[in-house]
Structure 1
Amino acid sequence: MGIDGEGQGRSPHRYTFIAASDSDGRSWQRANLQGLSSVECLDFILALPARARVFGFAFRGYDLTKIFQDLPDELIFKLFREQQREREIDGQLVTIPVQWEGYEINLMNRKLTVKRGNRRTTVWDIFGFFGKKFTGALSDWKVGTVDEIAEIERMKDKRSEFDNQSFAEVKTYCLSECRKLATLGERLVQAHKEADLELRSFHGAGSTASVILKRLGISNKRGVFPSEMRKPLACAFFGGRPENSVIGKVEGRIWGYDVSSAYPYHISQLPCLECGSWRRVMNPSWRDIDGATLALSHWHSKAFNTGAWGLLPVRSEDGTIAFPYGGKGGWAWKPEITRAHAMNPRLKVSEAWLYHTDCDHRPFNDIPALYLERIKLGKDGPGLVIKLGLNSCYGKLAQSKGIEPPFQSWI
């Protein structure tokens, strides 16, 4: 079922209506034109059908702000900062809920859990599966007619004028959103089932990626590396991002390049980390680096002007990333450092961790098959689910949050 709420007034602004609906239009609702209290909102959430799967959309923003408005500031501060509530218990990272007026309230990323006595309700914010506004998601997943979606869009644009709308009109709009959200959630769940990627959590596309990586058995295929490599690994880790080479007016034609599913493609090429071994080499030759399956190298260079920025990024102790023309350098992986050396002959390597394996195992060998399945299914439903899941595999491998994330591999 879908859940949403609406408010009216400017100063003060009142959260006057909260509702939930299933895809058949059966609804649950609570209204208070003087403003719903936090107790009223939490009791409403707890009163929803016990076995229902409850979905919100961008629920963590406005709605939770109003639902929690009666809580003391210090509890609200903790609630929205889950890392301050994390504790390690028996080797597991546990997020401790906030206690208030007999309620246990836990907010973890996009998952809200409310408990009181023997009643418990979880609300999942599924915005992360779509990454766009609600009406855009409805259009993409063909939920509702063009006119129905246009009406929701019209009402969203008039939110600042809800004082001029009748309460009945606002209520009808909210219930329509809830019903459409329930249908959207059902289609999301069904699309995952049809793609054989049944979800156990609903944090976003990362949840889809977790199912893919679990199917591939990646948690048991990450290999081991010497503890001395930890700092070089951290120093050599750089996420993809744009950089400006020019700021201001540019004369002439400008080119924009995009690679279809670049991250999934490169993930599919990653080698086996189970069958080989690492070796530290001081002052390695370029032949040593070229001959290794993987190479993590520390470079340095005399200044060499290569244009708007240097060839290789360097991460400082405080985490700042720069692209120097030269200097004492930093750590880089084989594909980047060999390409940089071809462009800058002054670049030298003082130390490298070299990995050799004779096997031809590919832990991510099934990724191309999933990609082809996604192409066959098209851009809607299951095809979109696979696309977003594949694109999120990189994020799961690069995950740093938590104690020993199950798929983390910075190599």
Structure 2
Amino acid sequence: MDSKSPFNDQPQSLTKKFLPWTLYALLPIAIIRLYFYPTILPISPSDQLHQKSSIITTTSSSPSQEGKRADVEIECNYSHGKWVHEKVGPLYNGTTCGTIKDGQNCMRHGRPDMGYLHWRWRPEQCNLPRFEPHTFLQILRNKHLAFVGDSMARNQLESLLCMLSTVSPPDLVYHAGDDDKFRRWHFSSHNVNVSIYWSPFLVKGIEKSETRNYNQLFLDSVDERWASDMDQMDMIVLSVGHWYLHPAVYFDGGLALGCHYCPGQNYTEIGFYEVFRKAIKTTLNSIIERIAVNGNEINVILTTFSPHHFEGEWDKFGACPKTRPYEENEKKLEGMDEEMRRVEVEEVEAAKTNAKQGVRLRVEALDITKLSLLRPDGHPGPYMYAFPFANGIAERVQNDCVHWCLPGPVDTWNEILLDVMKRWYKNLIPT
């Protein structure tokens, strides 16, 4: 006779009966959990530096349990993402603003393909909105924004001016120097000043001339051509790099350290990576020191190194022939591009540590190196000159595979810049 109680079978039968329904109920809950709170995989030590500068905390909205929208803080690494095609074009074109340097006005110079204008950068971890000129000007109301550096700083500045001019045309109120290397614009609608200071080394330097084919850099002294106006600046965008590849002799504390590519000179070849580091360190430390003395507040953005895309000889037709972005797995960040970026990221992080308590400084690296590396199609190439093939394809034609067409990929740099500013100045964003 079977003596088992009928109650002993109940748990097993109930389990068999309700287990599938339990799994069906848990599955959508798990999906929702992963959607709103994705699992973050551990970052290897080799990847930590690559991510550090471009991980920026931004505000995003997500549904709360009550069905309302609540602000939550998320981290966004702008350097990880992909270029996606979109139909909507840029905010401006080659004729709608008068500040584009002639050599970067690809549309006006007859570049036949327009596909390079229809790509947007999509970060993996967050949404990067299109540029909002009104928001940018509102944040900078009654402030002075200064771009300091070489021609890449100018390239980024002119992109910004063109996007802002779609809602508020600026007035050129100051210009000086060869090729107007020192200029200032005023947006009367918001009392905003935007300036460009030519300083290809950031530190004191004497550029090469007809009688001397190398630059001279004084690594312990910041360039006073811009630094003397620092007490008038509210925000500074620094951008240098390519001039450090030129032949140069370096000095520090009155002593010659060595040189880079100086055959025939009685100096030791020391390259330029550590020299570049020293110059960035001197610049950021000088900003910290002057803020401490003047008591003003300055926000600093360091735009990281922008790669070139020369393929073969610079004066051949196919110097930078690509017409589409690279996929991420097609192009690796390595060599000089990686090293220059690494120096900048490390020095920005060091400046954050070195800023003494009470110094009113924000500093961030605008990490555009990887996303720019993936855009070989964005340079003027032969269209640095107007209609270069009007009389047929010449055997030799000069190409620009360093600077960027306007409009073009450089506009994305300013979209990221605005996203950083929105985090810094939350209380100034119009609602």
Q: TM-score, normalised by structure 2?
A: 0.21
Looking at both structures, which has the greater relative contact order when contacts are Cα pairs under 8 Å and sequence separation is at least 6?
2
